[in-house]
Amino acid sequence: MPHSPEATNSRPAGSDLLAQLGQTTHQTEFYSPVPDGYVRGRHKYVVVLGTVMSGLGKGVFSSSMAKMLKDKGLSVAPIKMEGYLNIDSGTLNPFRHGEVFVLDDGTECDMDLGTYERMLDQDLTRRNFITSGQLYTEVLDRERQGGYLGRDVQMIPHVTGEVKRKLRELALTGGPDGGPVDVVFVEVGGTVGDYENGYYIEALRELAFEEGEHSACFVALTYIIEPPALGEQKSKAAQLGIRALMEVGIQPHIIACRASSPITETVRQKIAMYSNVPMSRVFSLHDRESIYTIPDDMRIAGLDREVLSIVHLHDHVDAATEDASRERWRSFIRKLTKKRTHKATIAITGKYMQVRDAYASIRKALAHCGAHLDADLDVRWIETSDITRQSVADQLRDIHGVITPGGFGMRGVEGKIACVNHCRIQRVPYLGICLGFQTAVIEFARNVVGIEPAGSTEFEPNCPEPVISELPEQKKIEGLGGTMRLGAQDVLLTSDTLAAFLYDGAPTVRGRFRHRYEVDPRYIERLEEAGLIFSGRHPQHPIMQILELPLEQHPYFVAAQFHPELTSRPLAPQPMFMGLVAAAIQRANPDLETEQVSSRWLRAEPQHT
């Protein structure tokens, strides 16, 4: 039996160690499940761990590095590992954890996966997200089925073994086509030293040992403090955080130093000396104008070459692919960082205003549109709990466009309805999302159709006129039961509508849903007769998914039951957001020559879904 990474790496697949992986009997302690077809050492792993404090940007750093390698022609798959016992992020309060991001397959996950999707322009699945709750459930289910050969099931080796199983499965099936990937990027939530993350870190240490030399690259993301009273950067907290990582058996290969300003040469020297990491691998992850500039900054610092050297992938680089990818990205960065021609003010009228991360994808979608439409967007955050019909005009004064996002519960709903009413009457460009779609239906039913008690059974179970409700027939149709409608589904577009125009005439589009309540079919005919257009529907059933007002009545009034912000990408901004921003620019600059929805994005490049 070999005793060192060098020795194990020198043995071919099928060696003694590999043969024993996945077996835990009285004869061996090597429990490390290996999927069929997996070859040890063929796939590489880049692991990003946090120190000092959480929330420093591990996801931003990891996704930027993953993009840097993907641009070189390598296939990559990210995974976020969370220590909490929740099965997923669906029940987490936005005030505590920020936005719940929904993947195409319906997985409710951490907002960092949105960062990965946007940076990599790559749809992710449930394979890219793990929680302790998921792992413990699988381990206990397997134990009940006799899957551990009578052994006493323990954190080590069984739970750590499940972590390694997940990572190896992702390496085999994590590609966009379900095939293998060259590099798996592993982000562990929280920080080194957190009790709930200890077994993740141990599993990753074991994985690096088992895979062999040059199979893993460990990155420690730390924090450089700069107390205003001292006027200089201090690295002691960072040093202690890195020491905690080394104490659990992991020697980092790269140090990313989070700071408000570029880290000084003195600090880089201290970090390098203390961590045994060369200066060329100590990267300054300081505040920047945009996170989208980080991949190029990494290349300029030579971090791409360092990573390729650590995991021996230089011979996998496709130079032509890299040149083309970098030019496309740099074109976007030039738009993002240039001085803008237009200005507009967009209000987000929601109920989680104290935590802006609750609307992270909306912020990013607006940033994408601002870059492509050459516009500086002043985003105003307006708490709808404080809005009344009497105060709404003052709250929305000088606003050129309004977004009413999703949410749950009664609080702030009447304020949202007041905002919808103001936008409809004053012809302010409006985009409703999920609950913003439902409040638009309620407002129209009350004030145009004349159904004064119109409401939703979500807020009033005995509502006399439930234009929005959770219908038994819809539960049967969608198989919802007591759960939400989650994930991407097709939306059938009506031709010759604004929705069809926004999506370049496509007959159907896919939207990511996260909701329980629908437009009650009993009211659809009355709403349409009064002038509301349902331009997006379920392909088979009477479920309304996009609404709009005619362009002759309103410059831009659109709402979607799904969440369009979740699929906006830097190089492909979301069409509904593009339409809103273009209409807002037109309202802010009425002298602009326009046709339909501001001359199709103010003469920007055509956008495609």
Q: Are residues 355 and 324 in the same domain?
A: no
Chain Cα centroid distance, residue 46 = 19
Does any domain span residue 13? no
Does any domain span residue 449? yes
Where does 248-359 have alpha helices with state H?
A: 265-275, 294-300, 303-310, 319-337
Q: CA-to-CA distance for 446 and 424, rounded, in angstroms?
A: 13
- Sheet arrangement for strand 518-519: 454-456, 465-469, 518-519
Helices and strands in the chain, H and E counts: 22, 21
Specify the 3-state DSSP secondary structure of 376: strand
Does any domain span residue 336? no
Q: Which pLDDT tens digit goes with each residue over 338-355?
A: 999 999 999 999 887 666
Q: Are residues 74 and 148 in the same domain?
A: yes
Q: CA-to-CA distance for 532 and 526, rounded, in angstroms?
A: 9
pTM > 0.85:
yes
Backbone angles phi, psi at 285, to 5 degrees: -100, 60
Q: Are residues 251 and 352 in the same domain?
A: no
Q: Which pLDDT tens digit goes with each residue over 39-78?
A: 999 999 999 999 988 888 999 999 999 999 999 999 999 9
What pLDDT does 354 receive? 67
Does any domain span residue 492? yes
Q: Give me the mean pLDDT over the 479-493 stretch.
A: 77
- Sheet arrangement for strand 430-433: 375-383, 342-350, 401-404, 430-433, 557-560, 544-548, 533-537, 485-493, 508-515
List of residues 6+ apart from 6 with CB closer than 8 A: 213
Q: Are residues 140 and 109 in the same domain?
A: yes
Q: CA-to-CA distance for 288 and 294, rounded, in angstroms?
A: 8
| pLDDT-based confidence at residue 609 (cuts at 50, 70, 90) | very low
Q: CA-to-CA distance for 576 and 556, rounded, in angstroms?
A: 10
232 assigned to active site: no
Asked if residue 157 has a cis previous peptide bond (ω within 30° of 0), the answer is yes
Range of the domain at 584: 341-602
Q: Which pLDDT tens digit goes with each residue over 165-191?
A: 999 999 999 998 899 999 999 999 999
Q: Which of 4-13, 162-171, 561-570 has the lowest mean pLDDT?
A: 4-13
| 325: amino acid identity, one letter | S
Specify the 3-state DSSP secondary structure of 300: helix
CATH number for 301 = 3.40.50.300
Pick the residue with more confidence: 308 or 98? 308
605 assigned to active site: no
| pLDDT-based confidence at residue 105 (cuts at 50, 70, 90) | very high
Residue 182: name the closest of 286, 311, 326, 37 by CA. Answer: 311
Does any domain span residue 463? yes
Q: CA-to-CA distance for 103 and 512, rounded, in angstroms?
A: 7
Q: Are 382 and 351 contacting, i.e. CB atoms less than 8 angstroms apart? A: no
Q: Are residues 277 and 389 in the same domain?
A: no
CATH number for 367 = 3.40.50.880
Backbone angles phi, psi at 183, to 5 degrees: -135, 130
* pLDDT at 23 > cutoff 60: no
Q: Are residues 325 and 402 in the same domain?
A: no
How does 138-149 read in b/e, with b if 16+ C-beta sit within 10 Å? bbeeeeeeeebe
Q: What is the 3-state secondary structure (H, E, C) of 185-206?
A: EEEECCCCCCHHHHHHHHHHHH
Does any domain span residue 573? yes
Backbone angles phi, psi at 176, to 5 degrees: -55, -30
What pLDDT does 154 receive? 92
Q: Which pLDDT tens digit goes with each residue over 241-299?
A: 999 999 999 999 999 999 999 999 999 999 999 999 999 999 999 999 999 999 999 99
Q: CA-to-CA distance for 328 and 103, rounded, in angstroms?
A: 25
Instruction: Count up the domains in the chain and report the number.
Output: 2
Name the one residue in this structure whose structure tokens are 């590992």: 81
* pLDDT at 9 > cutoff 50: no
Q: Give me the mean pLDDT over the 71-95 stretch.
A: 91
Last residue within a domain, chosen from 331, 351, 375: 331
Last residue within a domain, chosen from 305, 331, 357: 331
* pLDDT at 474 > cutoff 60: no
563 assigned to active site: yes
Q: CA-to-CA distance for 52 and 272, rounded, in angstroms?
A: 17
| pLDDT-based confidence at residue 608 (cuts at 50, 70, 90) | very low
Last residue within a domain, chosen from 267, 301, 331: 331
Mean pLDDT in the chain? Answer: 89
Cβ atoms within 10 Å, residue 6: 10
Residue 559: name the closest of 581, 593, 539, 535 by CA. Answer: 535
Q: Are 156 and 31 contacting, i.e. CB atoms less than 8 angstroms apart? A: no
Q: Are residues 308 and 385 in the same domain?
A: no
Q: Are residues 326 and 375 in the same domain?
A: no
Name the one residue in this structure whose structure tokens are 């039961």: 481
Q: Are residues 227 and 311 in the same domain?
A: yes
Percent of the chain at pLDDT > 90 equals: 78
Residue 557: name the closest of 378, 414, 422, 395 by CA. Answer: 422
What pLDDT does 122 receive? 96
Residue 189: name the closest of 303, 48, 71 by CA. Answer: 48
Chain Cα centroid distance, residue 174 = 17
Does any domain span residue 23? no
Q: Are residues 435 and 461 in the same domain?
A: yes
What pLDDT does 8 receive? 38
Q: Of residues 99, 434, 443, 548, which has the active-site annotation?
A: 434
The end-to-end CA distance of the chain, in Å, is 54
Q: Are residues 274 and 382 in the same domain?
A: no
Q: Of residues 117, 206, 211, 565, which has the active-site annotation?
A: 565
Residue 546 carries which DSSP code?
E
Does any domain span residue 18? no
Q: Are residues 594 and 477 in the same domain?
A: yes
List of residues 6+ apart from 91 with CB closer than 8 A: none
Q: CA-to-CA distance for 127 and 166, rounded, in angstroms?
A: 8
